[in-house]
Amino acid sequence: MYEQADVVGGHVRTEWLRGIPYEPHGAHIFHTDDSAVWNLVSKFTDFVPYQHRVTIRMRSHQLSWPLQRDELPQLEEWPQVERELSLLPPEPDTTNFETYCRSLMGQTLYDLCIRNYTMKQWGRDPDKLSASVAVNRVELRGDSYRGLFRDRHQGWPERGYADLVEALLEPAEIHLGQPITCTDLAEIARPGEPVVITSALDDFFNGELGPLEWRGVRLESEFIPGTKLAQASMVVNEPDLAVPWTRTIETKWALEKLHDVPRTIIMREYPGAAAKHYPVPDSAGRNKALQASYEAKLAAHTRNPLMAAGRLATYSYINMDQAVRQGLDAARRVAGTH
């Protein structure tokens, strides 16, 4: 295995300070309905039950996210919100991200909690984003279920994700600090030997067809002594444009046994870093088309069977269990070539 970074685990890695976990690259919650994936990861580390909750700060209020109808009457704008909810179409408008959200919850709620947050997170007007960003990630609920996910299996690794990743990789031969591109294949693989690519394809092909567009984030940590828990949930979204960060993360929420320890760490997530965290699903479809062109180059490679797996290589906004599933599928394909 060749890894560009100087540690394994990529963005999923957990760090610890004085016994308190924090995630330098943002919150990661393992949740899945794929029992085969759950059984696999559970063999390599101990998961503790954790049902992830997110809240959103809206002026003087802090509400559940996704929004719950029974919490909305506390908003000063409730009379207007109530009128707009009564006029919603039977199905959301999927023209773009903005039309989807407005037709799902009305203009007022959209302005309060979606529009500015999206502009901060993505650095563009919401109507320039595909509705696909919202379809599985923006809801208006009426069932009082406060958990973010509904998957059958949900948890957090008791010793953090680094422990899980390192156990999964044992006993692989690992080369750290070594990025690989298509020009390196002759040095690392024999002819006909399959290679699984997990880096971004525009990087792997040295940008031959042009750069794919990515949105990165930067996280800053704050160690808070004398405080058990600093916020109402692990993640708190901040849609106010006057607040420069998009959300705060307190990983300690995942481990109930630590809740009474009088120290904690919060991470503030700032948008716009020069990093490849999120693929940009532009409404015009340019990035999707460019990714397809890179995938065609991958498929056309003759010296080695090449396959892509993971968020970067597939240029997709996927969950952790989907990444594991892609890894399992890639392993089967590799085995089938021998």
pLDDT at 338: 59
The pair of structure tokens assigned to 191 is 């002819």
Cis omega (within 30 of 0) for bond into 225: no
All CATH 3.40.50.720 domain ranges of the chain, comma separated, are 179-213+280-336
Fold of 179-213+280-336: Rossmann fold (3.40.50)
Q: For the chain (length 338 residues), average pLDDT per consecutive 10?
A: 90 95 96 97 97 95 96 97 97 97 98 96 95 91 94 97 92 93 95 95 97 96 98 98 97 98 98 93 94 97 94 95 95 83
Structure letter (DSSP) for residue 213: P
CA–CA distance, 101 with 114 (Å, rounded to integer): 8
CA–CA distance, 11 with 4 (Å, rounded to integer): 12
Q: What are phi and psi of 165, to 5 degrees?
A: -60, -45
pLDDT at 301: 93
pTM above 0.85? yes
Residue 153 to residues 23, 164, 229, 249, 283, Cα–Cα distance (Å): 21, 17, 25, 22, 33
> What is the CB neighbour count within 10 angstroms for residue 306?
22
pLDDT at 123: 94
Q: At what angle are helices 35-44 and 161-169 packed, to 10 degrees?
A: 90
pLDDT at 81: 98
pLDDT at 31: 98
